[in-house]
Amino acid sequence: MLGISNVDKRYPNGLLALSGLNLDVAEGEILAIVGGSGCGKSTLLRLISGLDTPTAGTVALDGTPVTGPRPEIGLVFQEPRLMPWLTIDQNVAFGIRHLPQAEQKARVSESLARVGLASHVGHWPRELSGGQAQRVALARALVGRPKVLLLDEPFSALDALTRGDLQDHLLDLWAYDRPTMILVTHDIEEALVLADRIVVMQPNPGRVRVEVTPPLARPRDRLDAEFLQWKYKLLGDLDHASRPPTGDESFPAVAI
């Protein structure tokens, strides 16, 4: 459904952020991309979302090349990026501003209700906590019912408790109309809880190191023995991906 073939991205300053990247994402799949910082994860999402264009290769959605932002592709940034001068319902309505007023209103309340913030209509962004603001950002990305939802480390700025909550929440949202999701994270546990398939990237230049499809049953238990095994395996991969192989390291350190 979403095809990324032979993509290179070189920034104007000469830095090669991605090189020869190939990736296919199936409809309704949840794909996690993990990797240390600087290995091109955000760059990749910017290319898929159409905010930026690849230097070589193509990104195609259902066979048509992505040349700019498209209504079928939604993006949630690392920060909520709400407009401080709009109330939260007006912020959510950003995504469906072309619809008739009445329908906008219904869709906005529906999608705020789905992220558990129905009672916050009319509030200002400054009145929200970090987790609530990020939920509004999720509602804004989902209100237009995109086929593909891109998430760039959406929960990394939140505390562990809120993060766990929002991860479960994201799965509920996904179950509702099953968009294809690509989730960038540097948190292995987050990837294992959410994703069907996990791609580990490595830097200089950014490319895929390994790809795994953990056969874990859902809902996933963060303390399950098999889950933990996968977690340690991937931590090892991530560690190798971010460090040149020097000397012996008996215990894989988290390299983030």
Partner 1 sequence: MSSVNSCAASTLEAALPSRRPNLKWLLGFILPVGLALAWEVAVALKWADGRLLPTPSRVFTTLAGLARTGELAAHVLATLQRVALGFGFGVAAGTVLGAVSGYWTLARRLIDPMLQALRNIPSIAWVPMFILWFGIFETSKVILIAVGVFFPIYLSLSGAILGVDRKLVEVGRIFRFSHREMITRILLPATLPAYVISLRSGLGLGWMFVVAAEFMGAEEGLGFLLVDGQQTGRPAVILASITAFAILGKITDWLLASVSARFLTWQDSFKPAE
Ligand X SMILES: Nc1ncnc2c1ncn2[C@@H]1O[C@H](COP(=O)(O)OP(=O)(O)O)[C@@H](O)[C@H]1O
Q: Exposed, middle or buried by CB within 10 Å (0-12, 13-18, 19+), for 173?
A: buried
Partner whose binding site includes residue 17, from partner 1, ligand X, Mg ion, none (CB under 5 to 8 Å by kind): ligand X
Regarding 37 and contact with ligand X (CB under 6 A), the answer is yes
Question: Of the candidates 2, 75, 151, 181, which one interacts with partner 1 according to CB under 8 A?
Answer: 75
Q: What is the DSSP track for 159-172?
A: -HHHHHHHHHHHHH
* Structure tokens belonging to residue 64: 């048509």
Q: Which helix (H) or strand (E) holds 194?
A: helix 188-194
Q: How far is the CB of 187 from Mg ion (least distance, A)?
A: 13
Q: What is the DSSP track for 59-128?
A: EEETTEE--S--TTEEEE-SS----TTS-HHHHHHGGGTTS-HHHHHHHHHHHHHHTT-GGGTT--GGGS
* Structure tokens belonging to residue 87: 């109330």
Mask 38-77, x = binds ligand X (CB under 6 A)? xxxxxx----------------------------------
Q: How far is the CB of 63 from partner 1 (least distance, A)?
A: 21
Strand duo 2-10 + 56-61: pairing? antiparallel
Regarding 37 and contact with partner 1 (CB under 8 A), the answer is no
Regarding 127 and contact with partner 1 (CB under 8 A), the answer is yes
- Decide whether 123 or 209 has the Cβ nearer to partner 1: 123
What residues pair up with 206 in beta bridges, in sequence order? Answer: 18
- Residues interacting with Mg ion, by CB under 5 A? 42
The residue ranges that bind partner 1 (CB under 8 A) are 49, 51, 68-71, 74-75, 77, 79, 81, 83-86, 94-95, 97, 116, 119, 124-127, 129, 132
Q: Give the binding site for ligand X (CB under 6 A).
A: 11, 13, 15, 17, 35, 37-43
